[in-house]
């Protein structure tokens, strides 16, 4: 809707994990380094935690692109499983054939098949890696079974390495009574914090540049500071807030976005005092409503109630069709591709425009 109004080729703030928009802050690079160290260290468990929307999926995607070529990866993204379901899923993800009889396979059948696979892989010089996302949902029984799976080892390393990725509750879970032995096997752990204010500004500029912005950033310095404060530096919340601010500026015909528009956008997408943003009916505009109807709905929402501000020059195009973001490949598919021969390639990060250049020529907010 607002893409051509701001000189963009596509919408820059989709919450879909499009690899073209990958932005690795210093903290994301540190998290990636911990994962790579854990795999090369030969230990049992590696832990990556972070708030919802902090970029854990981004880090995991980069990691899957850089796992060593001799590493076979299994990826579980739905860990709400019983112990038998876990073992069956692990075998399925590693491509392990389990004998099927008239009765369901026992735990011993799955464990024996997995151990045989791990020994065969070790004999062939391959390492086996299990990644479990949303691991804060694992039960204590499943976590204990995972610990037992790492008992098979040589003098140099564990034959199965496990990466647990989850929200901060995961750290609390592992610190609980009964899981001390598992906690002692964690050789690397990292908590992915929020972006700093400079990183937030660079993140916004980066995504706008990838979307095709050729001129100055429409967000002024005050707007960027307020985006950081209201989003808490969480990338997913930044995306939601910036997308709504751009939509609001488009509705007002403004070429520049100040702190006022950002504040109004935040009132639309975030519940007051809530940790998670909420959706409002106006989000349906992004599905392709016509320009006139869109402006009518935005006017009803209060976007057009403010006095006019800086406008585009006469003759500027003020309508745009929504450009859907390209669908990103699921992480599970990336993990499966890594089973045979992992692709070792560092992700390309488009340099973000400096903040000074981003706000060059800014008028009053």
Tokens encoding 343? 């692709």
The answer, yes or no, to whether residue 361 has pLDDT greater than 60, is no
Confidence of residue 33 (pLDDT cuts 50, 70, 90): very high
Domain ranges of the chain: 4-23+195-317, 26-192
| DSSP structure string for 53-115 | TSSHHHHHHHHHHHS-TTEEEEEES-----HHHHHHHHHHHHT------SSPPPHHHHHHHHH
Q: Looking at per-residue confidence, does 15 or 305 come out higher?
A: 15
Task: Check residue 59 and give left, alpha or beta (phi > 0: left; psi -120 to 50: alpha).
Answer: alpha
CA dihedral angle for residue 144, residue 147, residue 152, residue 156, rounded to 10 degrees? -160
The answer, yes or no, to whether residue 201 has pLDDT greater than 50, is yes
pLDDT confidence of residue 209? 97
pLDDT confidence of residue 137? 95
pLDDT confidence of residue 245? 98
pLDDT confidence of residue 333? 56
pLDDT confidence of residue 334? 56
CB atoms within 10 A of CB 312: 14
pLDDT confidence of residue 314? 35
pLDDT confidence of residue 338? 55
Give the lowest-confidence range in 187-196, 219-228, 271-280: 271-280
The answer, yes or no, to whether residue 115 has pLDDT greater than 70, is yes
Mean residue pLDDT across the chain: 80
Confidence of residue 337 (pLDDT cuts 50, 70, 90): low
Q: Looking at per-residue confidence, does 112 or 157 come out higher?
A: 112
How confident is the model over 219-239, as pLDDT tens digits? 999 999 999 999 999 999 999
How confident is the model over 122-140, as pLDDT tens digits? 999 999 999 999 999 999 9
Q: Looking at per-residue confidence, does 298 or 68 come out higher?
A: 68
The answer, yes or no, to whether residue 105 has pLDDT greater than 90, is no
pLDDT confidence of residue 82? 95
Q: Nearest-CA neighbor of 336 among 52, 109, 25, 73?
A: 73
Distance, C-alpha 299 to centroid of its chain: 33
The answer, yes or no, to whether residue 331 has pLDDT greater than 90, is no
End-to-end CA distance of the chain, in Å?
23
Please write down the HEC assignment for all residues of 7-65.
Answer: CCCCCCCCCCCCHHHCCCCHHHHHHHHHHHHHHHHCCCEEEEEECCCCCHHHHHHHHHH
Averaged pLDDT for residues 79-103: 89
Q: What is the largest CA-CA distance in the chain?
A: 77
The answer, yes or no, to whether residue 322 has pLDDT greater than 50, is no
Pairwise CA distance, residues 124 & 121, whole Å? 5
pTM as predicted:
0.73
| DSSP structure string for 282-297 | GGGGGGT--HHHHHHH
How far from 310 is each of 6, 18, 192, 218, 256, CA to CA, in Å?
14, 32, 39, 11, 7
Averaged pLDDT for residues 11-39: 90
Domain 26-192, second-level architecture? 3-Layer(aba) Sandwich (3.40)
The answer, yes or no, to whether residue 258 has pLDDT greater than 70, is yes
How confident is the model over 163-185, as pLDDT tens digits? 999 999 999 999 987 899 999 99
Confidence of residue 58 (pLDDT cuts 50, 70, 90): confident
The answer, yes or no, to whether residue 323 has pLDDT greater than 60, is no
The answer, yes or no, to whether residue 111 has pLDDT greater than 50, is yes
pLDDT confidence of residue 212? 96
How far from 244 is each of 204, 286, 303, 329, 341, CA to CA, in Å?
13, 10, 11, 26, 41
Helix (H, G, I), strand (E, B) or coil at 191: strand
The answer, yes or no, to whether residue 143 has pLDDT greater than 80, is yes
């Amino acid at each position: 809707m607002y893409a051509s109004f701001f000189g963009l080729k596509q919408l820059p703030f989709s919450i879909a994990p499009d690899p073209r928009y990958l932005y690795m802050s210093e903290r994301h690079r540190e998290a990636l380094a911990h994962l790579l160290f854990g795999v090369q260290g030969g230990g049992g468990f590696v832990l990556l935690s972070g708030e919802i929307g902090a970029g854990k999926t981004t880090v995991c995607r980069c990691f899957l692109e850089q796992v060593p070529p001799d590493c076979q990866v299994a990826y579980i993204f739905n860990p709400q499983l019983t112990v038998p379901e876990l073992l069956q899923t692990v075998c399925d993800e590693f491509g392990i054939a389990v004998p099927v009889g008239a009765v369901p396979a026992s735990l011993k059948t799955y464990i024996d098949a997995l151990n045989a696979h791990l020994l065969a892989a070790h004999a062939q010089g391959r390492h086996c890696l299990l990644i479990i996302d949303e691991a804060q949902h694992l039960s204590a029984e499943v976590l204990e079974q995972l610990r037992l799976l790492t008992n098979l080892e040589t003098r140099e390393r564990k034959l199965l390495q496990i990466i647990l990725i989850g929200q901060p509750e995961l750290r609390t879970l592992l610190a609980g009574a009964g899981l001390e032995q598992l906690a002692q096997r964690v050789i690397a752990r990292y908590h992915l914090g929020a972006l700093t204010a400079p990183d937030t500004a660079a993140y916004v500029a980066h995504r706008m540049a990838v979307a095709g912005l050729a001129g100055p950033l429409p967000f002024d310095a005050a707007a960027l500071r307020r985006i950081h404060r209201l989003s808490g530096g969480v990338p997913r919340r930044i995306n939601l807030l910036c997308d709504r601010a751009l939509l609001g500026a488009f509705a007002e015909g403004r070429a520049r976005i100040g702190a006022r528009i950002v504040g109004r956008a935040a009132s639309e997408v975030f519940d007051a005092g809530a940790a998670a943003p909420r959706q409002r009916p106006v989000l349906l505009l992004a599905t392709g409503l016509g320009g006139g109807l869109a402006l009518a709905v935005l006017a009803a929402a209060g976007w057009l109630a403010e006095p006019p501000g800086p406008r585009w020059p006469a003759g500027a195009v003020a309508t745009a069709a929504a450009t859907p973001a390209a669908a990103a490949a699921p992480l599970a598919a990336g993990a499966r591709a890594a089973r045979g021969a992992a692709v070792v390639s560092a992700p390309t990060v488009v340099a973000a425009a400096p903040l000074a250049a981003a706000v060059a020529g800014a008028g009053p907010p």
